Every structure is written in C-alpha cells, then in structure tokens.
Chains A and B, each alone.
Chain A
C-alpha cells in the first residue's frame, strides 16, 4: 500500500503545478477579454486543483518512507538521495499547499456568488489572482525542490553541514512537535474538529434535506445561502486535521481508513459542485418538489459525509491511529 501511495504522490504532484497553472492562466485570459464564462471555468479548475492538492501533500511522507528508511526514529536516506533537499521540498510544499487551499476557498466563494449574480466580484477576482500567483510561485519552487531530491550534488555546503549537525528542523516537523509537546493542543484541535463538523452539517443538512423534501416552502436558492458555512466548517477541519497529520504522519499514511476518508472528502468536494454548477436544483422554487436527479445527488451527499465521519471515527479502531 505504501509503495502505491508513493506512486500516487508522483502521479498527483503534477496536478497542483500544471493544473493550477492552466486554471490560473484561464482566469487571467478571462479577466483580459472580460469573459465571465472563462472566469467561471477557471474557478472550477482552481477549486478542484485545491482539492487534489490535499492527497498530493498527504502522500508526501509515504513517498519519503518508500525511498528512505527509519532507523530508531531517524530518517536515513541511501546514497544519491539528500534528506536536506527532501526536507526543503516538504517545507515549500507546505507553504504552497497552505496558500493553495486559501486560493481554492476564495475561488469556491466566487463560484458560489456567481450562481446568484453572473459577474464575478472585483474583490474576489483580485484575491484569487493575487493568491493564485503566490500559490503557483510557491508550488513551482516546491516542485523544483522535489525534482532535485535525486541530485544531492547541488546542495549548498551550509545545508550539508546543517544536516550533519541535525540542526535543521523542517517546518512540518516543528508544527508536529508543537502539537505533541503541548498536551492541550491535541484535545483543543479535536474539540474544534467537532465544532467544524457541526458547522459543516448546517450546510449538509439544510441543503440536502430541503432537496429531499423537508421544509419545502423554502426555495432552493434560499438554503443555498447556507453553503459557505459548510465550507468554513470544512476549513476549520482541514486546519485542525492537518495538525493531527503533522503531529504523527506515520499513523495516517499507513492507515487505510485514513486513505478512504480522504477519498470520501474529495468526492464530497465534487458532489457540492453539482448544486453549484447545474441548474436543476437551483430552479426549485418555494413549495416545489426537487427533481429526482437532485434528490439522488442530495442522498449521495449525505451518504458521503456519513462515510467521512465513519472512516474518521474508525481511525483508531480499525486502523493504527490513537
């Protein structure tokens, strides 16, 4: 499984660079030619790439475990591979990933707003352009560093010395050590993870249950206004979830329940696009019954989110997490 994950990392890592570049360039073109449809398409791409960036980042430590060994807690890489360069790659990847998620979040808000008013707001456009450019720059450095991993001859004298001294602590490890060392951080993040889940459920319940027929006197376009609360809840859980992952990546990358949870999270991300991009649900007025295809999408949404909860809950019981 781990070797598969390493391959997944090598496969996925092209998306945040090339895919994001395509989305970003489309947005620039859309802005220049003032075409809202091109902008709309680019926001969809940027959101989807931000989603794919999640498993790309999370599979990184599995790729490390594939090429290097752990000897009594220390990572030992074979000759021809530089741990320093791997750590630099990981640092830049974390920066790039963080900014890319914020970009994806704002791109999603733009899409959400475009459902109601066809023109993308100036503030949203400016934010996505600025953050998108930063994300792409950071991701390009991360990708470049990743490519350098098999070229230890290019590392600086200083870097080699720091690796020998063991003085270089990668940022991901520093955050992870903080989560482990301070006993209050883990329970606090867990509590916030549950608060985020509840916020996510505001959107999941009201939107999907309305489509399924509860509270029919509400037009779909009104409950649609709850969707951003769900995304905020998702954001809280992405940040707190990353804290758990950085604290102990080993217990997640070797845990098949975690892999399944992430797959379900990605499917949830695709599912929400159905309600944002297609017109069938959007046209459901107050008092009207939703069409069967929308009901199926709503039922799938509830199934997927319960799946996310199931795999999350089972991490310690079926998998090896604590």
Chain B
C-alpha cells in the first residue's frame, strides 16, 4: 500500500504540483480550491442561515436555483482536492485530520440531500416558518461545514504535514 502511495507521490504530475515554481502548480490549485470552498460553504451557509431566520424576505424555494452553483463548486473542489492530495498522499492518508475532513464532507452532503427532499419541497418553504427539525438540520449543516473548513486548514499544521500550505 505504502509503495503504491509513494508511486503516486513520485509521479510526474504529483511532483509538478508539489515542486514546480510555476504559480499554475500548487498555488493556483490551492486558490481554486479556496474559491470552491467559498462557493460550497457560502451557498450552503446562506440557505442554512435563511432557514434559521435570517433574511426573512427571501423565499426558500428560489434558493434551489443556487444549488447547481454549489455542486459546481463541489466538483471543482473534488478535482482540485484530489490534485492536492496526490502531491503528498502518503502523509495525508496517515493524518487523522484528513479523515475528519472527509467524514464531515460526507455528512454535509447527506444533510444537504435530506434538506433538499424534506425542507425545500415542504409547505414550510412557502410559509417561511420552519419546523424545529428543519432548524436542527440547518444548525447541523453549519456545524459540519465549520468542521470541514477548520480541519482542512489545519491539515497544514497538525499530524504529519508537509511544508505545503
């Protein structure tokens, strides 16, 4: 397994991401990953905060139109995240923080799916008065994205980490 990971890490692409002085390598990939984070957490955060009572003039149903933007940000980050991962995969996969981040991304996506089915389609989306369950889902989603962002940033600081930040 370790040999396999090292092979990935030593590949031309992973070396380029890690070592190239070009700003199109690590710096730009990280920049796009950050923009993607802003899109995913921004759209999801806005929807959650609306359910929790902020910006009461906004109807929930039209906010669904922004979900494709969220998914665009998600796939951009899945791709850029994989690119960043290859550059020091053997360290990352031995860092518990990395698994915390992945687990909370998975929970966030499950929460998003539940909310899309149960909250967006429900009568409460029209009235703007949300049930305790919907509000709990929104709080849980906010908390999960907070953990994802924090654990992602801390990948550069905790466990086995490289000098790449």
Partner-B contacts on A (CB < 8 A) = 187, 190-191, 194-195, 197-202, 204-206, 209, 214-219, 221-223, 225-226, 229, 306, 309-310, 313-314, 316-318
Contact = CB atoms under 8 A, between A and B. Distances in A.
B49 A202 contact: yes
Given A201-B41, A202-B49, A225-B56, A217 B62 contact: yes
A195 B66 contact: no
- Among all A-B residue pairs, the 6 with the closest Cβ atoms: A201-B42, A225-B55, A198-B41, A201-B38, A222-B57, A215-B65
Interface centre among B35, B61, B145, B146 (most CB of A within 10 A): B35
Contact of A202 (B42, B57, B154): B42
Contact of A215 (B31, B56, B66): B66
A239 to B, nearest CB: 16
B30 interface: yes
A314 B23 contact: yes
A194 B37 contact: yes
* Overall SS of chain B's interface: helix
A191 B158 CA distance: 13
Contacts of B41: 198, 201
Given A187-B153, A225-B58, A198 B66 contact: no
Given A201-B38, A205-B69, A215-B66, 9 more contacts: A187-B154, A187-B157, A198-B45, A206-B46, A215-B62, A221-B57, A226-B55, A314-B23, A316-B165
Contacts of A306: 35
Contact of B149 (A198, A217, A316, A317): A198
B154 A191 contact: yes
Interface in B133-152: 145-146, 149-150, 152
B119 interface: no
B66 A214 contact: yes
Contacts of B54: 225-226, 229
A204 B66 contact: no
B81 interface: no
A243 to B, nearest CB: 14
Contacts of B56: 225
A191 B49 contact: no
B23 A223 contact: no
B42 A215 contact: no
